Chains A and B, each alone.
Chain A
């Protein structure tokens, strides 16, 4: 239960609602609990009236009226209980989910690279919802239950304490049985879940490997394997069913036992005249009121346990410290960025990696020039540019922008001046206009159309059903890889950034369109700094400086002509691409 303590500040926020809710629980219980009393009086009156032949129906009507009236008042309280406690739990769920997202937004890029989205989704949905359960029903039912229990016991004891004691003999067994069974069921349930996930994994595996299965004619073997797991799963289910099937009959038997005791001993007392028949009636009614609290006891424990386990998992995320943030070293006087970039002996090693990804990078990019980076997959190209918007922080050396150490520049200023087109194009399922405007507040139609034109996506957009208002993604039209990349470029250019980074962002664009995009970008980026990563020589050949990365180091640098003359990696790449072009044309 410990992890649930984390929720204290949230509960304190709603303490008045909570107090109010608990009061309504007390109210509804008080008004419910006296109803059997009225029934008892009514029965006594009835019996007395029959025996003495002086039955006055209006007296009975009064009791009937009281029962209905009290049920009505109790109902209002029950209504209010749900409207306070359960509603509160929804408010806390809301707060908690907002806080989770807000925290996630502060976590660095590397966190998301190492954490499966599915896990985070599960925390944001399932776990939060089971914490919510522990807060709503988890508070409402125990309060209600204990209240009922206390009041019913008081009522019974004051009526006839001897009969109460006799009647209550089976009750502890109800709770005990519930507790014991709860444990067994929990265990069986876990076993069943485990078997279910084994079964799922097996199905997943066989179906993913269907080519191998078919190639080696292993269908029957796989089916046999699946059959065994399925059968085990069935057995686990039946074991669980066995334990679950006991609950209700056992409860009925134990509670029935109480009823038997009440009727026999109560009956004897009625015969001897020490107890009225009405009291006996009220007793049986109270008994049925005790059934639910006894059962709820075990159920609620379960809800609370699940809630605690979930809160623990969510807590792990909240405990993750965001390490790329503004800090004491931040110089808030920096409001603008010009665009001169300098790497001074920069190295970078990924967390837990044995080898550094970047080694001793020395590089200066003057404002208004274009740097192109080429190199094989895994040579460190993306990591190098990721250092600029501080998706990672350098491990050694210093990275200067306009002569300022990058960590001193306020993060929002730094990022606001960078137009980044990541390798994996990510667009939101929103309209195309919203996607292009994503990084700016308030922009005109002309600006929008202008950047679309620069990125050579304007013509495509004009052919979409609703032009700029066309929704893209899952719920709209699907863009081709090249269209996505060009939209992503438009989005970056829209910010009028001082530094533009294209991380292999034209790979899916045909060479003709690519040429046009680059030409328009050159005009636009005249006084700005551009960094272009590409596998294609055609993309990089016009850059003022080209560097070749290999295993994290710069192995060649110069202009296109210089590098071709060097006859190294760049020249080899160049030759191969010429060959490929020839092959394409065959």
Chain B
């Protein structure tokens, strides 16, 4: 909310130049739009001229036939103008929509390339706003903003041209009210903007208060503060009302003033005509035409000042968008990345140091999450990582998929430094099952093959069968086409886990990373999960952050992490005999599982 409060500059040449670039592909359409606006303006301006001819020539000369011809031409112009105006309105929208479509796709594409480090820093909600609402705001600028400004300017020029060519003295007199209009509008805009800002501030206060007191309603109620809070709120609410009523005042004054200035212009036309009609300088038709002109140039002038607002909001949004597009939190790329078509599955960590945040001043040492970590896993081996909270277990698997780059040391897959491999190439060979299962809205099949058409339905089914997910899937209405709600809301925790297992298997990776979920499931599902894990690990290199005793016991090797360091390594029996950290962890977390089994 706070960032919306900042009303930026109305015009920023740097931002504007960058925005205009997005119109480049459509420059011929923009040109066409401007041309059409020109046509509309010309036909708009010609209208009072017809009236003048009808009155001064046809009617004055008692020429019904001429009158018919004039009105028919007028009618034809009217129809053509209507059609052109329609085409132009559609065209400008088309330009705007195409432009923001391009921009939106560019932002989305960019977002997907940014590394997880970026996502750690930026709340998802804010990013979604950039792709949706912020882009949306620019539509007005790209469509009506640019083309319509031309149209308004042309209309004004056209009207002035006809006025001057009819009677330049009367024109100057009619236009003599314009400075008042400009000054009045200027004054009004400034006051209205100040009032609007005040209203925004008060709305923000109401929102903050509401948000806080709805969230903290419990505290209000148990501390008997309802009345007190209500009084505070009523004050804020009253300030909001006052700000609004203040702003009503400016509107209430401005609009009647505009009307009054218009009426003064009409008065001036009549007064001038009274003094100059006898010498033939002014005709009745001229007066009628000028009264019409007088009405006509108000709209484009008022429109032009509206454009100011469009420009202002566009600047604010585009600033935020460009800031995002300029963010370069992308993994470093090797100049000549190696292709990785096939992997055996050897993994090695060699003296790896890693911190999520490196302090900007070089003096302080970063908060190391992993310290000098080295271990290796042979192809087909399965390794269990155990450790207390904050030991750095999750970080290890994040690094293997290259979600983050390490500060020191090297990580190898099949003796190739993973920094030399394109992240996408690397990840293709690694199946990841995370603790929090993320399901997409869609159907079951799509959640297993993630929309990958090279994984056909029979492979999806085979994967589901292997992990034992087939039973519940087949019972769902629709089976593999069964609907999955956002975040898999209708599925149980166990079902979600089985689905994520099936997903990993469907992609048939050489390396499997499994972060076991700690949440408890019923005994039957627990058994299914244990069996599924065994099947998944078979024949693959695997790293498991284990919470199950059964998983740990079946691992070839156990790595014990403690406070970012590897403290112990070996098999279950060896480590127990060591009587160190593992023994304590075992008693704390795993021993109960053994008891329950027996």
Which of B26-34, B252-260, B551-559 interfaces with chain A? B252-260
Nearest CB in chain B to that of A412: its residue? B224
Are A86 and B248 closer than 8 Å at their CB atoms? yes
CB neighbours (8 Å) of A65 from chain B are 267
* B160-211 at interface with A (beta carbon < 8 Å): 203, 206-208, 210-211
Instruction: Return chain A residues, CB-CB under 8 Å to B321.
Output: none
Stretch at the interface among B109-117, B471-479, B525-533: B109-117
Contacts of A212 in B (CB 8 A): 432, 434, 438, 450
Residues of B within 8 A of A238 (CB): 90, 93-94, 97
Can you identify 25 A-B contacts, CB atoms within 8 angstroms? A35-B263, A39-B291, A43-B287, A49-B274, A60-B270, A61-B270, A65-B267, A74-B259, A87-B245, A97-B206, A102-B226, A117-B215, A205-B486, A207-B128, A217-B428, A223-B108, A253-B81, A264-B71, A267-B54, A267-B55, A389-B222, A391-B218, A391-B222, A438-B223, A495-B223
By the criterion CB–CB under 8 Å, are A226 and B206 in contact?
no
Closest to A35 in B: B263
In the complex, what residue of chain B is closest to A264 when comparing beta carbons? Answer: B71
Is A104 a contact partner of B259 (Cβ separation < 8 A)?
no
Question: When chains A and B are docked, how far (Å) is the Cα of A318 from the Cα of B245?
Answer: 27
Measured CA separation A125–B208 after assembly (Å)? 11
Within 8 Å of chain B (Cβ to Cβ): is A429? yes
Judge whether B124 and A55 touch: CB under 8 Å: no
Q: Are B438 and A79 in contact (CB under 8 A)?
A: no
Chain B residues with CB under 8 A of A90: 241, 244-245, 248
Q: Which residue of B lies closest to A584 (CB)?
A: B388
Interface SS, A side? helix
Contacting pair B218 A215 (CB below 8 A): no
Residues of A within 8 A of B256 (CB): 74-76, 78-79
Q: Which residues on B sit within 8 Å (CB–CB) of A201?
A: 441, 486
Q: A125-B210, A201-B441, A271-B67 given as contacts; is B59 within 8 A of A277 (CB)?
A: yes
User: B residues within 8 A CB of A249?
Assistant: 81-83, 85-86, 89
**Whole-angstrom CA separation of A59 from B105 in the bound complex:** 67
Interface size on B, residues (CB 8 A): 132
Contact of B277 among A49, A209, A234 (CB under 8 A): A49
Bitwise interface map of A from 203 to 218 toward B, beta carbon under 8 Å scored 1, else 0: 1111111111111111
CB < 8 Å A-B pair total: 367
Q: Which of A147-155, A354-362, A418-426, A535-543 contacts B (4 or more CB under 8 A)?
A: A418-426
Q: Is A260 engaged at the interface, CB distance under 8 Å to the other chain?
A: yes
B333 at the interface (CB under 8 A from A): no
**Distance in Å: Cβ of B320 to nearest Cβ of chain A:** 15
Once the chains are docked, how many angstroms separate the CA of A252 from the CA of B43?
12
Instruction: Contacts A90-B248, A98-B233, A105-B217 given; indicate if A245 touches B424 (C-beta within 8 A).
Output: no
Q: Give the residues in chain A near B89, CB-CB below 8 Å.
A: 241, 244-245, 248-249
Complex: A65 Cα to B274 Cα, angstroms:
13
For chain B residues 223-275, which have a beta carbon within 8 Å of chain A?
223-226, 229-230, 233-234, 237-238, 240-241, 244-245, 248-249, 251-253, 255-257, 259-260, 262-264, 266-268, 270-271, 273-275
Task: Please name all residues of chain A whose beta carbon is closer than 8 Å to the beta carbon of B13 when the two chains form the complex.
Answer: none
* A199 beta carbon closer than 8 Å to chain B: yes
Given contacts A94-B241, A252-B78, 5 further A-B contacts (CB under 8 A): A209-B440, A213-B112, A214-B403, A246-B86, A491-B223
A580 at the interface (CB under 8 A from B): yes
A385 CB to nearest chain B CB (Å): 11
**B292 engages A284 (CB within 8 Å):** yes
Q: Is the CB of B216 within 8 A of A426?
A: yes
Lowest 8 CB-CB distances: which A-B pairs, in order?
A: A60-B274, A75-B256, A71-B263, A241-B93, A245-B89, A57-B274, A82-B252, A439-B223
Is the CB–CB distance between B108 and A203 below 8 Å?
A: yes
Bound: A324/B283 CA distance, A: 81
Chain B residues in the interface with A (C-beta under 8 A): 47, 50-51, 54-55, 58-59, 62-64, 67-68, 71, 74-75, 78-79, 81-83, 85-86, 89-90, 93-94, 97-98, 101, 104-105, 108-109, 111-113, 116, 119, 124-125, 127-128, 131-132, 136, 139, 203, 206-208, 210-226, 229-230, 233-234, 237-238, 240-241, 244-245, 248-249, 251-253, 255-257, 259-260, 262-264, 266-268, 270-271, 273-275, 277-278, 283-284, 287-288, 291-292, 295, 388, 401, 403, 423-424, 427-428, 430, 432, 434, 438, 440-441, 450-452, 486, 503, 507, 562, 581, 584-585, 587-588
- Identify A438's interface contact among B225, B438, B585, CB under 8 A: B225
Given contacts A200-B128, A215-B432, A415-B223, contact A221 B278 (CB under 8 A): no
Task: Quote the shortest CB–CB distance from B330 to chain A (angstroms).
Answer: 12
Nearest CB on A from B37, distance (A): 13
Whether A416 and B71, one on each chain, are in contact in the complex, defined by CB atoms closer than 8 angstroms, is no
In the complex, the answer to whether B288 meets A281 with C-beta atoms within 8 Å is yes
Residue A121 at the chain B interface, CB threshold 8 Å: yes
Are A222 and B101 neighbours in the complex by a CB distance under 8 Å? no
Asked, given contacts A281-B288, A426-B216, A426-B219, whether A91 binds B112 with beta carbons under 8 Å apart, the answer is: no
Q: Is the interface of B mostly helix, strand, loop or mixed?
A: helix
| Residues of chain A lying within 8 A (CB to CB) of residue B93 | 237-238, 241, 244-245
Q: How near does chain B come to A453, taking the closest CB pair, in angstroms?
A: 21
Chain A residues within 8 Å of B262, by CB:
71
Q: How far is the CA of A137 from the CA of B311 in the complex (A)?
A: 26
Q: Is the CB of B210 within 8 A of A64?
A: no
When the two chains form their complex, are residues A214 and B116 in contact, meaning their CB atoms are under 8 A apart? yes
Partner of A256, one of B78, B109, B295, B434: B78
Q: What's the nearest-Cβ distance from chain A to residue B72, in Å?
A: 9
Least distance between A128 CB and chain B CB atoms (Å)? 10
Q: Mark A residues whose CB is within 8 Å of B.
A: 32, 35, 39, 42-43, 46-47, 49-50, 53, 55-61, 63-65, 67-68, 70-72, 74-76, 78-83, 86-87, 90-91, 93-94, 97-98, 101-102, 104-107, 109, 112, 117, 120-121, 124-125, 196, 199-201, 203-219, 221-223, 225-227, 230-231, 234, 237-238, 241-242, 244-246, 248-250, 252-253, 256-257, 260, 263-264, 267-268, 270-271, 277, 280-281, 284-285, 288, 389, 391, 412, 415-416, 418, 420, 422, 426, 428-429, 438-439, 474, 491, 495, 576, 579-580, 582-583, 586
Q: Which residues of A contact B97 (CB under 8 A)?
A: 234, 237-238, 241
Residue A418 contacts which of B219, B222, B268, B283 (CB distance < 8 angstroms)?
A: B222
* Residue numbers in B under 8 Å from A270 (CB-CB): 59
Q: Is the CB of B438 within 8 A of A428?
A: no
From A72, A98, A217, B427 is in contact (CB under 8 Å) with A217
State whether B214 touches A117 (Cβ < 8 A). Answer: yes
Q: Is there contact, CB below 8 Å, between A218 and B450? A: yes
Q: Which of B222, B403, B441, B503 has the most CB of A within 10 A?
A: B222
Q: In the bound complex, how far is the Cα of B233 from the Cα of A102, in angstroms?
A: 10
Q: Are A268 and B585 in contact (CB under 8 A)?
A: no
The reply to whether B241 and A257 contact each other, CB–CB distance below 8 Å, is no
- Residue of B47, B68, B229, B263 touching A105 (CB-CB under 8 A): B229
Q: Nearest Cβ in chain A — how far from B447, in angstroms?
A: 10
CB-nearest residue of chain A to B62: A271
Other-chain contact of A268, B64, B124, B218 (Cβ < 8 Å): B64
With known contacts A260-B74, A426-B216, A101–B588 Cβ distance under 8 A: no
Q: In the complex the two chains form, is B75's CB within 8 Å of A263's CB?
A: no
Write out the residue numbers on chain B whose beta carbons fall within 8 Å of the beta carbon of A209.
438, 440
- Of the candidates A35, A101, A242, A422, the one whose C-beta lies within 8 Å of that of B90 is A242
Give every chain B residue within 8 A of A120 (Cβ-Cβ): 210, 214
Distance in Å: Cβ of A224 to nearest Cβ of chain B: 8
Question: Could you tell me the distance in whole angstroms from the C-beta of B393 to the nearest C-beta in chain A?
Answer: 15
Question: Given the interface contacts A67-B263, A78-B256, A215-B401, does A439 sit within 8 Å of B224 by beta carbon?
Answer: yes
Closest to B447 in A: A212
Contacts of A105 in B (CB 8 A): 217, 220-221, 226, 229-230
Measured CA separation A397–B104 after assembly (Å): 60
Q: A72-B260, A208-B438, A268-B67 are in contact. Are A101 and B85 (CB under 8 A)?
A: no
Bound CA–CA A201/B207 (angstroms): 24
* Partner of B287 from A46, A101, A248, A288 at Cβ < 8 Å: A46
Q: Which residues of A contact B81 (CB under 8 A)?
A: 249, 252-253
